[in-house]
A = this chain, B = another copy of it.
Amino acid sequence: MMKAILVIGDGMADRPLRELGGRTPLEAAHKLSLNQIAKTGICGIMDIISPGVIPGSDTATLALLGYDALEVYTGRGAFEAVGSGIDVSPRDVAFRCNFATVDDDLVVLDRRAGRIVNEDASKLAQSLQKIKLEKHPKVDFLFKNTIQHRAALVIRKPRPSSAVSDSDPGKIGEKVLKIKPLDSSQKAELTTKILRELTLKFHKVLKQHPINKMRVERGLPPANIILCRGAGTIPNIKPLPEKYGLTSACVAASSLIRGVCKVAGMKLIDVKGATGTPQTDFMAKAKATIKTLKTNDFVLLHVKATDVAGHDGNIKQKIELIEKIDAMLDYILNNIDSDLTYMAVTADHTTSSNTKNHEGDSVPIAVTGPYVRRDDVKQYDERTCAKGGLNRIRGMDIMPILINLIGKAKKFGA
């Protein structure tokens, strides 16, 4: 039985940087395994959605799993919540949340509350979950922290609407946004009121919380507000086992990615030491991938760390993390049956270390395995891969390509 691995370095692609003499971090990194995959494989570039369009990590993962994100995407919230272990039903509305720091005028000082550690965030989340709303006593909500400053909020009852705006202004120096209904339905009106009351109540509880008092004493930014964005429901998609007739699992720490994979019907593998941060245990993920592949046709291996370094504009760290991905791939290459395994390596989007944001530039892709049409590309990076045999494809093409290579594709026509 043939198998496939899809390795995603989150935000691993970049633009040429002056600090690197016009090279990208991938071009500057020392990366024997990535180059080995390019050398033995077929390479190309890939527009995750379409040229110039900036993907989020959620829409990108949907696309990389073969879904038309433009058609099926219903917001990030539900994925984040599912990925954090909350059981989201089709009627629930979920939000992606941040623990953040505001001043007394509700101006955002730090959108990530100093990338608060999981332990602090857990204790704060436990307090928030206990809150009762005075104006809306029948509200049923779930609040759960995931990694660092990230969290998910799910509104269950009364029957909510996803037609509500964000409270997260998306940048520091701006005031927390007033949540507004996005349509004229009663449901949107009510959900808006509930969210406004929750936001104020959360703020009140967080301000006085012992954890935050301790953070301030230590010189750390207090996590004194919850910013919400990306109201969404669970999208209605055909799960991978049904879509492609395969068993599949995901090795990822990021709750957003886990959420997308779970909604796509994949098993979620828990890996000790995999944290979704630059301190993640790369080798533990490599070993988990090899182990998981024994009982699955397809494994998605996702590494969040490179994206974090890009958002921080930390070029040196991004290069180091690419080199750690390279070491992780070395283990995988040495432990797969190369006669029976296809492996694709890509990024879910470009994260520019210059703009510190996701960008719509294409990403490199290399696919290796026993019967690929090997080209003469010998290095894995944005520009060299562009000369490869895959030319330029779309994000939603890669899954059908892998399914075809492992012999699981069904003929269209007769």
List residues of chain A with CB under 8 Å of any chain B CB. Answer: 15-16, 22, 24, 44-45, 49-60, 69-70, 73, 75-76, 96, 229-230, 256, 352, 354-355, 357-361, 371-375, 382-383, 386-387, 389-394, 397, 399-405, 407, 409-414
Contact = CB atoms under 8 A, between A and B. Distances in A.
B401 A52 contact: yes
Contact of A404 (B53, B76, B382, B413): B53
Contact of A361 (B70, B392, B404): B404
Given A45-B389, A52-B401, A57-B413, 16 more contacts: A15-B372, A16-B373, A24-B373, A44-B391, A51-B397, A52-B397, A53-B412, A54-B404, A57-B414, A58-B413, A58-B414, A60-B413, A359-B409, A360-B401, A383-B389, A386-B391
Contacts of A411: 54-56, 357-358
A56 B414 contact: yes
B400 A229 contact: no
19 contacts: A16-B374, A22-B374, A51-B394, A51-B400, A51-B401, A52-B405, A52-B409, A54-B412, A55-B411, A58-B413, A73-B413, A75-B414, A76-B414, A229-B414, A374-B383, A375-B386, A386-B391, A390-B392, A392-B392
Contact of A59 (B73, B375, B399, B413): B413
Contacts of A58: 413-414
Given A55-B412, A56-B412, A371-B354, A404 B360 contact: yes
Nearest to A79: B414
Contact of A409 (B24, B53, B57, B354): B53
Contacts of A60: 413
Contacts of A24: 373
Contacts of A391: 44-45, 386, 391-392
A298 to B, nearest CB: 14
A49 B397 CA distance: 11
A68 to B, nearest CB: 11
Nearest to A382: B373
Query: Which of A372, A410, A412 neighbours the largest number of chain B CB atoms within 10 Å of its CB?
Result: A412
Given A55-B412, A58-B414, A412-B55, A400 B45 contact: no
A46 to B, nearest CB: 10
A385 to B, nearest CB: 10
Contact of A414 (B22, B96, B371, B375): B96
Nearest to A60: B413
A386 B383 CA distance: 14
A8 to B, nearest CB: 15
A414 B358 CA distance: 10
Query: Which of A15, A394, A413 neighbours the largest number of chain B CB atoms within 10 Å of its CB?
Result: A413
A402 B54 contact: no
A407 B355 contact: yes
Nearest to A371: B15
Contact of A50 (B49, B389, B392, B397): B397
Contacts of A373: 15-16, 24, 361, 382-383, 386
A410 B58 CA distance: 15
Nearest to A47: B397
Given A57-B414, A413-B59, A413-B69, A52 B403 contact: yes
